[in-house]
Amino acid sequence: MLRVKELTGGYGATPVVRSVSFEVEAGTMLGILGPNGSGKSTLLKMLSGLLPADSGKVEIGGRSIAEYSRKAFARQVAVLPQLQADTFSQTAYQTVALGRYPHQTGLFAGWSDADERAVQKAMDRMGVTKYRDTEIEFMSGGERQRVFVAQALAQEAPVLLLDEPTNHLDIAHQQQLLDTVRRQATENGLTVVSVFHDVNLASLYCDRLLLMDRGEVAAIGTPDEVVDERKMERVYAARVRAGMHPEVPKPQITLLPAKEPEDRQEIIRKANFSVSREYVHLNSRIPLMAVSSAVFGAGAGWYRHFVNRKVDADYSTDDAGTEMRDWLDESGFPLTQTVAMMTAAMTEDAVIGEYGPPDAPIFICVTAGVGNAVDASLGTDRDAYAGTINTWVIVNGHLPEEALIQGMITATEAKAKAMQTEHVLDPLTGTVATGTSTDSLLIAATQRGIRYPYAGTVTELGKAIGRGVFECTAEAIRRYRKRKANLERESR
Partner 1 sequence: MKKIRQRKTKQPAAAYMVSAAMLLLALWLGVSVGSVKIPFQVLVNPEADEVAANILWNIRMPRVVLAGLVGGSLALAGAAFQGLLKNPLADPYTLGVSSGASVGAVATLFFGIGLFGAYTLSIFSMAGAMAVLLLVIGFARAVDRSLKMETIILTGVIFGSFLGSVLSLMIALTGEELRQIISWLLGSVSMRGWKYVWMILPFLLIGGLLLWLCRRELNAMLFGEERAHHLGVDVRKRKWMILGGGSILTGSAVAVSGTIGFVGLVVPHMTRILWGSDHRHLLPLSFINGASLLVLCDLVARTIISPTELPVGVITSFIGAPVFAFIFYRQRRKGAARHA
**Binding stretches for partner 1 (CB under 8 A):** 48-50, 69-71, 73-75, 77-79, 81, 84-91, 94-95, 98-99, 101-102, 104, 107, 133, 135, 137, 151, 155
State in angstroms the smallest separation of the CB of 82 from partner 1. 10
State in angstroms the smallest separation of the CB of 101 from partner 1. 5
User: Residues in the chain, how many?
Assistant: 492
Residue number with CB closer to partner 1 (70 or 259):
70
Residue number with CB closer to partner 1 (93 or 392):
93
State in angstroms the smallest separation of the CB of 86 from partner 1. 6
State in angstroms the smallest separation of the CB of 106 from partner 1. 12
Residue number with CB closer to partner 1 (73 or 470):
73
The SS3 of residue 439 is coil
Residue number with CB closer to partner 1 (135 or 348):
135
Residue number with CB closer to partner 1 (104 or 175):
104
Which amino acid belongs to residue 404? L
Residue number with CB closer to partner 1 (130 or 245):
130
State in angstroms the smallest separation of the CB of 107 from partner 1. 8
State in angstroms the smallest separation of the CB of 89 from partner 1. 5
Residue number with CB closer to partner 1 (155 or 284):
155
State in angstroms the smallest separation of the CB of 144 from partner 1. 11
Residue number with CB closer to partner 1 (64 or 69):
69
State in angstroms the smallest separation of the CB of 310 from partner 1. 59
H/E stretch holding 475 reads helix 460-491
How far apart CA 361 and CA 468 sit, in angstroms, is 11
